[in-house]
Amino acid sequence: MKKRNKILILTALLTAVLALAGVLAAQQPVFRIKVDMVVLSFTVTDGRGRYINGLKPSDFRITEDGIPQKLTTFSEGSRPPLRVLDNGATEPIATGPGEAERGGISTDALVGTNVFVLFDTSNYMYRGFVYASDAIADFIRGLDRADSVAVYTFSRNLSRAAPLSRERNEVLQGLRKAVAGDESALYNALLLALRDAAKVPGRKVIIVFSNGPDSASMVAPDDVRAVAEDEGIPIYVISTSDLNRDPISTGVFRRLSARTGGKTFFAKTWQKQVEAFEAIREDLGNSYTVTYYPQPNPNEGFRSIKVDLVSDPGKRLRVSARPGYRPRMGS
Amino acid sequence: MTVKLQMLVAVLAAAAVAGPAWGQQPAEDWQARLSQAELRGEAAAALDDLGRAIEADPTNPQLLALRARALDARRHPAARAAYERALSARGLAAAGRERILRRLAALDLIEGDRTSAGKRLSQLAPPVALAESSGARKVPTGEVVIPGPMSGFSRMAALSPDLPETDILTALSRNVVTSGYQAVSGSESLEQTEYLKLILRYVSQARELETLASPDKILKIEQCESPRTGELLRILGFRMRGGCGSEVVLETVNASRAFLTIDSGFPIAGLEQALRSNRVFEMDYKPTRVKVLYGPEYWLSAKEKFSGELIDAFLGDPALCRLYLGIVKLDPETAEQVRKTMPVARVRAFAHVFDFFGGMLRLKDGKAVVPGGQRSAAAWSELAGASPDKGVEFIEKLIMKDDGWMASYFDSLSRIEGPVQDYLTEPERIKRFYTALRGRVTSPGPARPVFRSNTDLMLLTTRLRMAGPNQPHLPGGLEVWKNLFVKHPQGRYDGKLTKAAAGWKEPDDLLEALFGLSRKAVENEPLKIFLSISDIERRRGAPIAAPTVDRLARAYRLMGSQYPLFSESPSLSDASMIRFLDAAEAISKIGDNVEKANTAGTMQALAALWQVLCRQKLIAEQDSDAVFSAIIEPFLKAREGGPLFDAGRSGVAALLKATGSPEDVNPQDRMIDLLTGSPTTEDQQTLAELRADMLRVFEAQKLVSLKVIFDLADHLESLSRGERLNAALLNRLAARVSDLSLPKASMSAQERNATSFGYWTERHLEDQRKLNFRAVIDKAAGDAGKLKNARGLLAPILRDTLVGLLYVHYAPPGAQLLYTNPLFARSHDFIGIQGAHQTWRTTEVLGSGWPSSAGGRLVGSLATLPYALAEAEQNFLIPTREQALIWGDLVPQMLVSAKLPRWWNVSGAQMHFLALHLRHGEDLLAAAVTSPELRTQVLDLLDKSVAPVRLRRIANELAEADLRAAIEDVTPSEFYQLGRYAVERKLSLPGGFGSSISALAAADPGRLNHQALSDAFGTPKPTLANTMKPQLLNLRTFPTLMGYSSRIMAESWESNNLFFAALADELRIRPSELNLRIPEWTQRTVEQIFATHLEDWPALLRSMRIIASQARAEARKPAAAQQKASLE
């Protein structure tokens, strides 16, 4: 039997994708997913870079390798996701209390964004360590209440300084107890953060706060990028290095973020770092998230995703989304 | 099943049929039945039966006692209640009552309940009084005051928060010595490192905060708007942004102060929250008082003109720290004598020697204990210049002699025992070999570098084999070694030795030369050859012939890393070893590096697969030599293309045939099954889980299955005979290799230049990616010869699959790289760096740290693949403790020890037999609390493995009835040895676990013995013993050594598997499940370790015990829930 036809109860192992399909009747709501569900987050901006809000599912046409896709859910910013009906209309998804205990997940878990902050505490960040900590603390304080946030730190190894939580004080305590380390294994840490994020239901992003050099990773950045693409997790990078100081890291950061639907910011000063975080926060609050089951497609390699705005025939608006993904084996 | 066991089963079965119902059986029969059930792996059912028998006869004291003991043997939580019940049963014999009371008292002491233990012992006849914990035996200590809480200082000084109070200053001293100072370029002076500067700045900040605290040392901020708040924030390096109230935010104003605040873990977030919510902020800021040996005066007397605090003296003086380390390492009584007798300035001058080589020094009745005992005393006296009878004077002379060389010699000989020690400590030899070791120039001594530089000396004395009394074993005989020195293959080893070798007449002559070489860090190849070949021969039935030894010796420089392969099977013939060397040397001569890599990779992979299958007993011992020979033979001639492919394929066929595979078997499925473990196991669930894990790695690596490769080769053959093209088959291969694109396409030119897989690896990958079989077939245009030869194009793919299968087999727990980098196995670089000749050398990790490479990869041969894989993957483990780092050299060895052995052939009885040894050791320790005579015997046995300083501590703990502390001071492998030696010496307790061990051993002597346990629960020791074959060597845990860091220490650490297997027995986990549990528990142990320095094995022990507690809680949760439900 192909996995595509296998309906599985959402478990930690399968939560690489947002779990909203297969919603049963409202009286007995249990969320179930197919393992190949795709989660896609994107922003829409005008020519001046201003976010365009209030668009509806029917405003979008999403294709994979040119094949039109049928949306399952739709959400904007931190609002709860809506179920997309066959006629393009939407309806709320409701769950009863204790859903998670019964093997499903509550809608609450799907509201907001799960933000994983990956904080470089290696020797390379020694001088900027405390300012970075301040900037991250400000970012955490300013997140939407619906968002959950985790702080991971890394030098040679990863440390889960503050696990994913909506309790800001707990997260800040974890952040403020970060210990300065030695070597930097940025891409190892990013991979591990992605693996953790992939287990969480709902929308998630990773924000890397680093100045770039990596002295200890065993995994190559492009292998990590491929994992992020496949899991549908945007990577935002705030580099505390100058734009032109380390062209190779610059190139890698840009590729990582662009290919996953995130952005890269070069912010050497504390003020720039605060601005970068503000921009990310805006991105999160103004993005759209849709889910869908891919239509039959013989391509088992990289599938390109395209988001067109039906309501913008003149192409005046710009959609920023990840360019595609590789389907899971067996899907 | 052995004949004896069969007889026992038959007798018991007959008894079962003919005898009374079980409920009416006497306790002796139950004892036999339980013992028998252990042998059959049915202990749980037998215990249930016993429970039913007790229900039928609920006041039978013997049955109750038997059940309690059976539960106790597996540390069952109900054991205590069961003992209590037995104790209250009427008719319990006096001896039985005494046993139970003593056991309960021991359990009380383990839990730290002295009162209850004392009450129980007072009920004995005659009553036994528990020794008071007077502390009288403890070494005098004073206090050193560290400003601020310990948690902050620990973080700054990188000390484990779990360190016992007595060890804190020792650990700090170690860190100051190793990390606190660095040489100034172009000068002999030292300067402080950033690590030490930060500690000093932290201490200063902590003192400022102390002045802000109240008289009772509480930091208290009652309101946001107060000068006190401002002062606190100033010291911390922060300021408020926004006015007091809910908007207030703390932000950095002084970066260096704020760094200390955060790095030391000051609760700045809590302070911020208190200010925001206008709550009182309180923090206990009492200074930390840490124990210092002998009190401050002694240490300050070692310094001139110092008026600060003692902690400042330590932080500011690495020599003082070294002095502390040296004294702490000494046995306390010895240290006390040294302190009283030797001027502190002199001790300080030789502190480095005390630190590295003082651990085995010991005074007994005022005399120095020397290796070789009384027989060797005169020789030591002559060497040191003072008689051992003169106690400290001898120690002083020994330490001062030859910049530490004599102390290192003494230390090495003290660590061994038995025939080797007898041989080496023969008076004349002691002097002769020391003279060789010492040489003419003694500086720098072995204690001068950061690590001990007497590595080879320790390996030589530890690994020397004896052929008979006073007769060392020389592989191949003396002539081989004479020739090696005289007709050296790669230039002269040592001019003097070359000249002397011509006149060698006896083994001692060679040994003298080896001792002379053992002081060298380089140019000591003959010593390494000697140790390596000795180890190959160690477990063989027949010795290696002299010509073979000669060949092995001469090929060592190029091929030595491959020799552990030869020790995998004791029946591997000389001819097979020679054949391997011939083939390897032929491959080395191949000029084309692509061809060479494919040929070497394929042959090495086949040999390594043979090694795995022999180890897992899937290739019968009697067949192993023939199979090895069959694998290697084709490579004597094979070159790139069709012949190489055929050689690889025939090797796979030989392996499959030797493992009893049907001829038409799917080679891929079968090979995966074989590598997984035992296809015949009853535990299909474990097998399936392991198999699924292996398939996941195989898939992630995008390897091509053996079946596809061989089918395609067969298809080419068919095409050459004119059959039709099978497009589907071609597509299966194409689909697999088309994804093998290098990521370079998406990179900038600059990135492409910086990113490198290595030239030959890139060619290897590109060749496969570009491979288009359809085009090849079209081009052949039906030419039978060309079509047939096209199978040669599959040779690199076959190489990758065979190499990849080994990566799959050895995938360490917690691996990420293997699942993320699809080119990892394919990138294995058999050529390596130009000029390094790495094709046959050990496997190494290369390319970590971007952008120097396109991710890490492995280079060299497959000889140490398991270790290299673990090394590559270790940093993906996630420490659960803040600041804890993965322990570089120790962790890979731990992962290898958990992954390389498989436990399919281990029986439940063996696991229980092992666990009983550990329990017996603990039981003896417990009994030693109340019996001074037994204590002496137990300590004598522990003396074989425990260093004098720790032995003395254990002795004191036992004398003061602090059983819990004593148990924590003994490692699982030491408990095993204690149990084993006690059984050998018939040191047993009435009704104790020793009798169960003897009973089981008698019932199945073939499988329940030390050798069987060594094979089952030992660990691979590629560095220490030149073999991957798991074994127990029962050595004292090695220290860190020059050139190996913690690696040899890790190989000598044998506790993990013993401990976890005993835990599994306790939790009634099947032996086959160890294949999953031990890797999992080991991973969790690694993630839990918080070590302070490279020899901090107690941190490892603490971590293991935490994981065991968690495993117990997890395993017993369902039972507890069930019990609760039934009560409800």
For residues B369 and B290, state if they share a domain.
no
Shared-domain flag, residues B288 and B377: no
Give the closest residue to A277 by CA, choosing from A173, A156, A149. A149
Nearest residue of chain B to residue A122 (CA atoms):
B883
The answer to whether residue A176 is domain-embedded is yes
The shortest C-alpha distance from A134 to chain B (Å) reads 6
Q: What total of structural domains would you count in chain B?
A: 5
Specify the pLDDT at position B4: 44
Q: How far is CA B437 from the centre of its chain?
A: 30
Q: Residue B525: inside a domain, yes or no?
A: no
Give residue A70's domain range.
3-109+287-325
Distance CA A152, CA B893 (A): 28
Q: Are B319 and B287 in contact (CB under 8 A)?
A: no
Cβ–Cβ gap B845/A218 under 8 Å:
yes
CB within 8 Å: B258 and A301: no
* pLDDT classification of A17: cutoffs 50, 70, 90: very low
Residue A103's pLDDT is what?
47
| Mean pLDDT (whole number) for A36-56 | 89
Q: How far is B878 from chain A (nearest CA, A)?
A: 6
Q: Are residues A183 and A258 in the same domain?
A: yes
Q: Are residues B318 and B389 in the same domain?
A: no
Query: Is residue A167 located within the same domain as residue A265?
Result: yes
- Write out residues 88-127 of A within 8 Å (CB-CB) of B: 127
- The answer for A 232-261 residues in CB contact with B (under 8 A) is 247-249, 251-252, 255
User: What total of structural domains would you count in chain A?
Assistant: 2
Q: Which helix (H) or strand (E) holds B889?
A: none
Extract the tokens encoding A67. 């094949």
Answer yes or no: do A218 and B746 touch at CB < 8 A. no
Alpha-carbon span B909 to B915, nearest angstrom:
10
Domain assignment of residue B136, yes or no: no
Non-local (6+) Cβ contacts of B8 within 8 A are B36, B39, B1003
* B317 and B400 share one domain: no
**Is the same domain home to B831 and B960?**
no
Inform me whether the C-beta atom of residue A41 falls under 8 Å from chain B C-beta atoms: no
Specify the 3-state DSSP secondary structure of B191. Answer: strand
Q: Residues of B709-748 as b/e, b for ≥16 C-beta within 10 angstroms?
A: bbbbbebbeebbeeeeeeeeebebbeebbbebebbeeebe
Query: Which positions in chain B touch A185 (Cβ < 8 Å)?
Result: 849, 875
In angstroms, the CA A224 to CA B214 distance is: 52
A81: closest CA of chain B, how far (Å)? 31
Judgement on whether residues A46 and A101 belong to the same structural domain of the protein = yes
Predicted local distance difference test score (pLDDT) of residue A13: 24
Q: Is residue B130 part of a domain?
A: no
Distance CA B1009, CA B906 (A): 13
Task: Give residue B956's pLDDT.
Answer: 93
Mutation for testing the A interface, residue in B850, B881, B1087 having most A CBs under 10 Å: B850
Would you state the pLDDT for residue B3? 42
A214 to B750: CB separation less than 8 angstroms, yes or no: no
What is the Cα B454 distance to its own chain's centre? 21
Please tell me the predicted confidence (pLDDT) of residue B867: 97
Model pLDDT for residues B751-775, shown as the tens digit of each residue: 655 555 677 888 888 888 888 888 8
Does residue B482 belong to any structural domain of this protein?
no
Determine the distance in angstroms separating the CA of B821 from the nearest CA of chain A, rounded to an integer: 6
Looking at per-residue confidence, does B620 or A22 come out higher?
Answer: B620
Same domain, A176 and A249: yes
Taking contacts as CB-CB distances below 8 angstroms, the residues of chain A near B751 are: 248, 251-252
* Chain A residue with minimum CA distance to B873: A218
- Residue B421 covered by a domain: yes
A281 and A291 co-located in one domain: no
Residues B212 and B236: their CA atoms lie apart, in Å, by 12
* A218·B252 Cβ contact <8 A: no
Final residue of a structural domain among B865, B883, B917: B865
Residues of chain B below pLDDT 50 = 1-23, 852
Q: What is the pLDDT of residue B280?
A: 95
Structural domain of B1076: 908-1096
What pLDDT, on the 0 to 100 scale, is given for residue B729? 82
Whether B344 and B238 map to the same domain: the answer is no
Mutation site for B-interface testing, chosen from A130, A183, A256, A257 by largest number of B Cβ within 10 Å: A130
- For the stretch A143-165, pLDDT in tens is 988 899 999 999 999 999 999 99
Instruction: Determine which of A158, A219, A274, A329 to mutate to test the interface with B (most B C-beta atoms within 10 Å).
Output: A219
Residues B318 and B339 in one domain: no
Query: What pLDDT was estimated at residue B472?
Result: 96
Same domain? B188 vs B56: no
For B78-84, the CB contacts below 8 A with 24+ separation are B79/B107, B80/B104, B80/B107, B83/B107
- pLDDT-derived band at A14 (thresholds 50, 70, 90) equals very low
Q: Using the beta-carbon criterion (under 8 Å), do B875 and A180 form an inter-chain contact?
A: no
Identify whether residues B224 and B351 lie together within a single domain: no
Measure B232 CA to nearest chain A CA, in Å: 17
Query: Based on the domain organization, do B289 and B208 belong to the same domain?
Result: yes
- All residues of chain B having their beta carbon less than 8 Å from the beta carbon of residue A163 are none
Q: Is residue A330 assigned to a domain?
A: no
Closest by CA position to A244, among listed A262, A263, A266: A266
Give SS3 for B240: strand
Torsion of CA A165, A170, A176, A179, to 10 degrees: -70
Cβ distance of B747 and A300 shorter than 8 Å: no
Helix (H), strand (E) at residue B702: none
- Surface-to-core class of residue B782, CB atoms within 10 Å of its CB (0-12 exposed, 13-18 middle, 19+ buried): exposed
CB contact residues (below 8 A), chain A span 293-312, against chain B? 300-301
**Does the beta-carbon distance from B820 to A222 stay under 8 Å?**
no
What is the pTM assigned to this prediction? 0.91
pLDDT attached to residue A326: 82
Do B875 and A160 lie within an 8 Å CB cutoff?
no
Query: Which residue among B315, B330, B345 closes a domain?
Result: B330
If asked whether residues A27 and A11 sit together in one domain, one would say: yes
> Same structural domain for residues A209 and A141?
yes
Test B856 with A141 for CB contact under 8 angstroms. Answer: no
Q: Are residues B279 and B409 both part of a single domain?
A: no
Residue B590 lies in a domain: no
Backbone φ, ψ for residue B186 (5° rounding):
75, 15
Residue B106 is predicted with a pLDDT of 94
Q: Do residues A181 and A277 both lie within one domain?
A: yes
Which of B426, B453, B471 is the last residue before a domain boundary?
Answer: B426
Binary contact (A173, B873; C-beta < 8 A) = no
Same domain, A138 and A89: no
- The reply to whether residue B882 touches residue A223, judged by beta carbons under 8 angstroms, is no
Distance from CA of B47 to the nearest CA of A (A): 37
Whether A105 and A148 map to the same domain: the answer is: no
Same domain, A144 and A265: yes
Looking at residue B6, its pLDDT comes to 45
Same domain, B825 and B741: yes
B878 contacts A157? CB cut-off 8 A: yes
Quick one: pLDDT at residue A88? 82
Residues A97 and A130 in one domain: no
Contacts of A212 in chain B (CB under 8 A): none
On whether the CB atoms of residues A103 and A10 are closer than 8 A, the answer is yes
B630: in domain:
no
**How far apart are the CA of A281 and the nearest CA of chain B, in angstroms?**
19
Cβ-based neighbours of B318, under 8 Å, separated by 6 or more:
B176, B177, B180, B181, B190
The residues, ordered by sequence, that sit 6+ positions from B714 with a Cβ below 8 Å of its Cβ are: none
CB burial of B87-124 (b: ≥16 within 10 Å; e: otherwise) equals: bebeebeeebbbbbbbbbbbbbbbeeebeebbebbeee
Closest Cα partner for B1024 from B285, B586, B460?
A: B460
| Chain A positions in Cβ-Cβ contact with residue B695 (cut-off 8 Å) | none
